[in-house]
Amino acid sequence: MSRISGRPAISTEHVYGLSLRVARWREGTPGTPLLFLNGIGADLAAAAPLLAQIHGREVWTLDMPGVGGSPDALLPYGAPTIAAVVMEIADRLGHKQVDLAGFSWGGALAQQIAIQFPGRVRRMILMATTPVMGAPGIGWAAMFDDDMLASGLKIQTATPLGIAYQTAAMAGWTSVAFLSGLKNIPTLVLAGKQDGVMPACYGQMLAEQIDGALLEMVPGSHLFPFTHAAAIAARISAFLDLPATAQAAA
């Protein structure tokens, strides 16, 4: 019996030499499924309290190599490679088009997927993330701020090699030169008002570079999708449910 919030269906997908644990909530629900991409070192159990509250659609996520239920990769991988792996899993699940939600490291991967596979992304939500990994002002020590400590969350379940490979995959990564090409993907950018890991200026940069993107400042620090899960789940659902004309006018 699953102890993960919402009791998702759990499977393991073997892709390009990787074995990745996948979780699906409300499997088979009609409509565009939502793919959630987590932060560095965080597993699907950490995301489950958020994802279990996003109703009316299939929601799925996966553990990156060396995280949670996915064993270490044998070799390092780059952002384009892991983006291709994720979309191969989407193919196997029968998802020709997806909505994307990415948090922190996963927000960078979401951008990579949208750049690499633009025709397969319907809408995108970028949370507590940046278009320039390793940029000045990003402070990983702020992961241990009062908001996180008060939440009691223990989100990192990665091996040392898993963390090293995730870090290496985004070393020097930037999407700045490509963001203007995402104008046809309706995008919501959420930034935490007290985020000391990914300061709000990076959310503002994303919203300025993606034509038509919506920027919203939300309560909380870097872990706001988890510490304010009910409110963020509701906001994600509302954005995904907007008619296309309403989103364009928002």
Torsion angle (degrees, nearest 10) of CA 210, 215, 219, 222:
10
Give the active site residue among 104, 151, 175, 237: 104
Share of the chain above pLDDT 70, in %: 88
Amino acid at 171: A
Query: Which residue blocks in the chain are alpha helix, DSSP H?
Result: 44-51, 79-92, 105-116, 146-151, 160-169, 200-209, 224-227, 229-241, 244-249
Region 1-27 average pLDDT: 90
Q: How far apart are CA 129 and CA 117, in angstroms?
A: 20
Judged by average pLDDT, the poorest of 30-34, 46-50, 139-143, 242-246 is 139-143
Q: How far apart are CA 24 and CA 215, in angstroms?
A: 28
Q: What is the DSSP letter of 140?
A: G
What confidence tens digit (pLDDT) does each residue in 134-164 have? Answer: 765 555 554 555 666 555 556 667 899 999 9
pLDDT at residue 167 in the model = 93
Q: Degrees (nearest 5) of the Cα angle 78, 48, 50?
A: 100
Asked if 104 is an active-site residue, the reply is yes
pTM, two decimals, is 0.92
